[in-house]
Structure 1
Amino acid sequence: MLTAMPTASPPPSSQARPAPRDRGDACPGTLRLHAADDGALARIRIPGGVLTTRQAEALGCAARRLGDGDVHLTSRGNVQLRGLRAGCGAELAEVLDTAGLLPSWDHERVRNVVASPLSGLDGVGRQDVRPWLTALDTVLCANEAATELSGRFLFALDDGRGDVSGLGADVTVRAIEDGGAWLTPGAVRVAAGDAARAALAAAEAFLEAARSHGTKAWRVSELALSDEEMAHLVRRRLAAERIDHQEHPEPTGVTGGPRLGLVGDALSVHVPLGRLTPHQWEALTQVAGIEMRLTPWRGVVVPTPDLTAELAAASLDRLAAAGLVTEPGSAWLRVGACIGRPGCAKAHRDVRADAARTLDAGNSAGPSLYWSGCERRCGRPHGEHIDIIATPGGGYQLSATAPGQNTRTLSVGDPSRIRAALAAITS
């Protein structure tokens, strides 16, 4: 049975402020493991999603030896290892430290940085953000105050194409036409050479604001401040750090993730539900020459500057044979899900299995879908999509919001009727 329940549209994000925090976040990391139903979970921050092949091999080895064997990608281009056996924390930390994935043990949970994955590879961006990425990670790990940031605080470095600018980061730096960088919060232009320092200054302004308001806010959006008030604090901090800045309008244009296939000097693939089997991870590491880049859209970009077109096509065929998505017409591109059962005790259903059963492989059109095992909706993406939320009775609730319209919801008691519910809620 499908039951329609129209509800009021939520207020804009600038008005919908979460309640103030009175505690630090419990976000897992490499040194702080999370106990899940399928074993311990480690979340490993990979700034910009950039991994050398040596680091990728170390991650794959750790997943096989200590966990369930799979490498799980997050919506921030990070990695989760699941099913970790009890008491393996010290061994895992040693493996990752040796591979260079723990440059600062004090900062390992705050190295949350997304960056344009194709930057410097396809000639589209206005500036290669790799120098910004390296510099930001360096100054972040060297800054003692930065350890106070929550494991959820996010930086975004956009090369001007507008891909990661739309991910709702707390601090965004975006390349602009005149060769400089636009910073928000603050809405100012800074010199490209000051991009990393300016991003850190904005984060410090956030920490200062949180302290002055007596809250342990995890995100900028949780501060009881208007955009103008936050911009003032950031500009004041930039001035204190002697970083030249001028007011500048927000750059226009927001795009999505990288297209698939051979893109410039890179191969781009999508990972269904963000879960890479040992065979798939090995295929990627073997195709990668020097590095790979994990994307916030649960994909992987492999730079291939030295491959001929024939060898690149053969590499794509190999990755497709391993079960990775290499063509833009796949319906997997619009489907995401949390871990669900049996990995999470709070989940009401095996949402990944339900998503796979419901997938219409021939239909790549339509809205993005996100399947959640419970009302918490862990990993829910930023932007417009349809939530498919498992309910305690074994059914689902679907929720869709279109711009300028009220939220529409449908309750589905029988999961086999999800397709009919999706047709109804989008009609």
Structure 2
Amino acid sequence: MNHASSSFVTPVTARPSACPGLLRIVAALDGGICRVKLPGGVLRSTEARAIAEASEQHAAGVIEVTNRANLQIRGVMAGHEAALIETLVNAGLGPTAGLIDAANYGAAVALDASTAPTASTTTTLLAASAADDVRNLMISPSAGRDPQALFDTRALAAQILALLQSEPRFAALSPKFALLLDGGEQLAMLDHPHDVWLAATAAPEGVRFAFGLAGCPPVARADDRGRNAKPGTPALAAVLPSQVPALVNALLQTFLDLAAPDDTRMRHLLAAHPVEAVLQHTQTYLDFPLNRDPALADWHRAPADASLRLGAHPQRMAGTWQAGGQPPLGRLDAATLRALATIAEDSGDATLHMTPWQSVLLPDIAAHATASVLTGLAALGLACKATQPLARLIACAGSTGCAKSQADTKADALHLAALLPTTVEQVHLSGCPRSCAAAHRAPYTLLAVAPRHYDLYRRDDDHPGFGQCVAHHLTIEQAADALARLARSPFDA
């Protein structure tokens, strides 16, 4: 293929604020954004090198870890979209192999500017885009290896992903429609709301999967004073692990049956339909009963520990460890991604596991190699301790990459890193109210109101959105001082 002579034909009409995808390259101030969805957040070292090369040849060389454990390439150059997509698909980074003929797909996205798309080409592109969009299933980055897990979710996750991509009707789901499959791991993201969540729970007869809609699993209190208690949405029923794929299919079919044209998320459906009616409709797709167990009303999942994404920790299999680090504000360059691939090949299982905290986890490391792996991660600029400032900061693209942003949040976050009190758990810098960088509510949020100026919010369940606004129009220095006071006393502003 002659990349220089090809031009990109947009396969799917871009919608306002449409999510980027493998085919849907969305324009931003710093160029196009191409999002690569990773099954279970897992990236093979060969795929990492393909992404690194593609980002240098066809984009700005900037790669971001997203809050759904995917990767996105920023700064895609005009006229290079087709070549970028073809490279990624040929590397195996598109929807499940077998759904799309790679040769025809590559030809479809690389049409000459004078060539009109045929009906078959359009069908191929639409099918590919739909299959890519629905791959929104989150599992723990340590699935199958976490010592505290109740169930290894990897095989179930593969079945669900195959279902999502192979059922044509699911193409109607929003690219934001998301599912959580939780095996009870200690390293787990439990703060992101999902349209459907499933969580392993121990029962006398064996593991069952409790499920709920439009929210998060309820999480037990971390101590008897109730700190870190997270109510979540209640579990509705529980099913056998073997019944999970059928349940997912039934819930999604029910959503599509009942949803109004403008209902894109499960919360919209529940605003118009009682949950009992939704479950009754779901039952029509199932050959096993959805019994409402009264005991589930008080069910809570054990607390998770996000700090396990950083540093070295033992895995379930004796003698093996995982090691993780946080790239500054979730961003990698091509050279760093290649270096991470080399470390994974030399010391691990040749895979990188992206996490929903925008960090990177390397599994299956021998105990004797953990120190050298951590040294290597630190040398690449990754934070490997939860106490490091850059492990406690989240920032969106900011005004250098997004026209909606009121401030350069990336630069301001780096400035704040030098001033951040050690007692502050996590701060989210958002350039606008859309909160693109964080799907959950951080303990503290700085919402940009002007260049280098922010309103400060404190997480509070009694206030929607970011929480309670406790200060207005702060500089970064003033914000650091206010955060220090709030960390000393939650009642200070």
In the aligned structure 1, how far is the partner of 2:417 from the partner of 2:325? 19
Aligned to 1:54: 46
Determine which structure has more spread, i.e. the larger CA radius of gyration.
Answer: 2
1:417 corresponds to 2:478: yes
Percent of paired sites with the same residue: 28
**Who is 2:359 aligned against?**
299
Tell whether 2:312 aligns with 1:262. yes
Q: 1:161 aligns with which of 180, 185, 188?
A: 185
- Greater shift after overlay, 200-209 or 132-141? 200-209
Where do residues 201-220 of structure 1 align in structure 2 (5 Å cutoff)? 201-210=250-259, 214-220=260-266
Deviation (angstroms), 1:168: 0.9
- Render the CA deviation track for 1:172-216: whole Å, top value 9, x for unaligned: 111111312112237211110122232232222222221xxx332
Higher RCO (Cα < 8 Å, 6 or more apart): 1
Residue of structure 2 equivalent to 1:14: none
2:342 is matched with: 286
Q: Give the one of 68, 81, 106 matched to 1:76.
A: 68
Counterpart-to-counterpart distance in 1, 2:355 and 2:462: 30
The residue aligned with 2:414 is 356
Q: State the secondary structure of the residue aligned to 2:274.
A: helix
In structure 1, stretches of 5+ residues that fail to align are: 1-22
Using the TM superposition, give the Cα deviation of residue 65 of structure 1 relative to its aligned residue in structure 2, in angstroms: 1.4
Which residue of structure 2 lines up, in the alignment, with residue 122 of structure 1? Answer: 146
SS in structure 1 of the partner of residue 361 of structure 2: strand
Q: Tell me if structure 1 keeps the 8 A contact 2:428–2:442.
A: no
The aligned residue for residue 183 of structure 1 is: 211
**Deviation (angstroms), 1:245:** 3.3
Cα displacement (A) at 1:418: 2.0
Cα distance change on mapping 1:414 and 1:326 into 2, 3 Å: closer
In structure 1, give the amino acid aligned to 2:249.
L
2:147, 2:185 within 8 Å by CA — same for their partners in 1?
no
Aligned residues: 399
Q: What is aligned with 2:92? A: 100
For the 8 Å contact 1:118–1:258, the answer to whether it is kept is: no
Aligned to 1:16: none
Structure 1 position 422, deviation (Å): 2.3
Distance 1:311 1:231 in 2: 53
More deviation in 294-303 or 93-102?
93-102
Helix, strand or coil for the counterpart of 1:152? coil
Q: Does 2:232 correspond to 1:171?
A: no
Task: Report which stretch shifted further, 405-414 or 87-96.
Answer: 405-414
Change (3 A) 1:237 1:414: closer
Q: Which residue of 1 aligns with 2:281?
A: 236
Could you tell me which runs of 5 or more consecutive residues in structure 2 were left unpaired when the two chains were aligned: 1-14, 100-127, 214-234, 316-320
- Cα deviation for residue 62 of structure 1 reads 1.3
Deviations 1:50-102 (A, max 9, x none): 12222222112211211111210111111111000112222122112112221
1:423 CA displacement: 3.3
Query: d(CA) in 2 for partners of 1:41 and 1:292?
Result: 21
1:190–1:245 contact (8 Å) kept in structure 2 = yes
Q: Any residues of structure 2 matched to 1:395-414 within 5 Å, and which?
A: 395-403=453-461, 407-414=468-475
Cα distance in 1 between the residues matched to 2:59 and 2:446: 29
Matched with 1:333 is 391
CA distance in 2, matches of 1:151, 1:45: 11
User: In structure 2, what residue type is equivalent to 1:215?
Assistant: P
Counterpart code for 2:322: A
Cα 1:419–1:403 shift into 2, 3 Å: same
Select which of 343, 354, 374 maps to 1:316: 374
Matched, 1:89 2:81: yes
Give the equivalent residue in structure 1 for 2:23. 31
The answer to whether the Cα contact below 8 Å between 1:334 and 1:368 also exists between their aligned partners in 2 is yes
- Give me the whole-angstrom Cα distance separating, in 1, the residues matched to 2:289 and 2:300: 19
Cα distance in 1 for residues equivalent to 2:185 and 2:419: 29
Residues in 1 aligned to 2:327 and 2:195: alpha-carbon distance in whole angstroms: 26
TM-superposed CA distance for 1:377, in Å, is: 2.6
CA RMSD in angstroms, aligned pairs only: 2.4
Whether 1:378 and 2:439 are equivalent positions in the alignment is no
**Is residue 2:141 matched to residue 1:139?**
no
Q: Would the aligned equivalents of 2:52 and 2:335 in 1 still touch at CA under 8 Å?
A: no
Query: 1:63, 1:172 → 2: CA distance?
Result: 34
Deviates more, 1:198-207 or 1:238-247: 238-247
Deviations 1:200-237 (A, max 9, x none): 32222222221xxx3322221223537x8235424532
Partners of 1:261 and 1:393 in 2: CA distance? 35
C-alpha contact 1:165 1:172 (8 A) present in aligned 2: no
State how far apart, in whole Å, the 2-side matches of 1:71 and 1:243 are.
Answer: 45
In structure 1, distance between residues paired with 2:402 and 2:54? 21
Q: Distance in 2 between matches of 1:65 and 1:147?
A: 31
**In the alignment, is the contact (CA less than 8 A) between 1:330 and 1:362 conserved in 2?**
no
> What residue number does 1:275 align with?
331
